[in-house]
Copies of this chain bind each other. A is one copy, B any other.
Amino acid sequence: MCELLAMSANVPTDICFSFTGFSPRGGKTGPHRDGFGICFYEHGGMREFKDYLPSCQSPIAKFLQDYPIRSKNIVCHIRQANVGDVNLQNTHPFHRELCGKTWTFAHNGQMPIESVPEPTHYQPVGTTDSEKIFCWILSELRNEYRCGTAIAKVSAFLLTLCNHLNSLGVSNIILSDGEDIFTFCSTKLSWITRKAPFGEAHLRDCDVSLDFAAVTNETDIATVIATEPLTDNEKWETMKSGEGRMFRDGLCVWRDYGPEVIHKKRDECCKSA
């Protein structure tokens, strides 16, 4: 399995705490040592940091643990390669421009690349099934909707596309246009919303705690989405197979369900993306 991490917040918020717990899974507490990427939307723009080195060793990942970048929408991925070599072109997240917005996609799953429908508009740069899936989703959006349609309005359409992918193989998805974060659970995805009254959280993957009450304002709201819960003393919500959710300003603003799919070779399928 590779792993996904995202954050939606109502005020620019850094992800240093979560990233400190997430990055060891890239080669130390987890096997996802084939590169990482993290992108931050800020002021309508986006910047990203990527490495083909394991996040547990990468000097860039270390830099980011200590350098707080505040953003309302963050998407992150650590990779355990299956389809596609270990290199930057196959390192998630992927990006494309649609309607003057930079869209970002991170994926965890696997399906035969030839089973992914051909994208009509965007082309993959690398060789992963994941990037082809992204190009197909965005091509379908471009073909189906005019610019200016809010992502929240296309949620049901995205869910239909994701459920089709889910019938082809494992396909957990995080997709953002910088304002909303769409999530789809094929086999494994959890989330937690933190708001007042804030408490203390303790990471699963390293002995680090943070008292959120000391670093937040009372009106702050942030949701963290991850393949596996990052803390061991908080209650995370578990999404079910076929479930889609949309997060904006730290809150879940939409959810719906498609048919549940039980992937028989779940463990095998998940060593991907």
Contacts and interface: CB of A to CB of B under 8 A. Distances in A.
Interface of A: 42-52, 59-60, 63, 67, 85, 87-91, 95-97, 99-102, 122-126, 147
Nearest to A101: B125
A89 B123 contact: no
A96 B50 CA distance: 17
A123 B123 CA distance: 17
22 contacts: A43-B85, A43-B88, A44-B87, A44-B89, A44-B126, A45-B87, A45-B88, A45-B89, A45-B90, A45-B125, A46-B89, A47-B50, A47-B51, A49-B49, A59-B67, A63-B63, A97-B123, A99-B123, A100-B123, A100-B124, A100-B125, A123-B147
Contacts of A89: 43-46
A47 B43 CA distance: 20
* Copies of this polypeptide in the complex: 2
Nearest to A47: B50
A47 B88 contact: yes
Given A63-B63, A97-B123, A125-B97, A91 B45 contact: yes
Nearest to A43: B87
Contacts of A60: 67
Given A48-B48, A50-B47, A67-B59, A42 B97 contact: no
Nearest to A37: B47
A95 B124 CA distance: 14
Contacts of A48: 47-48
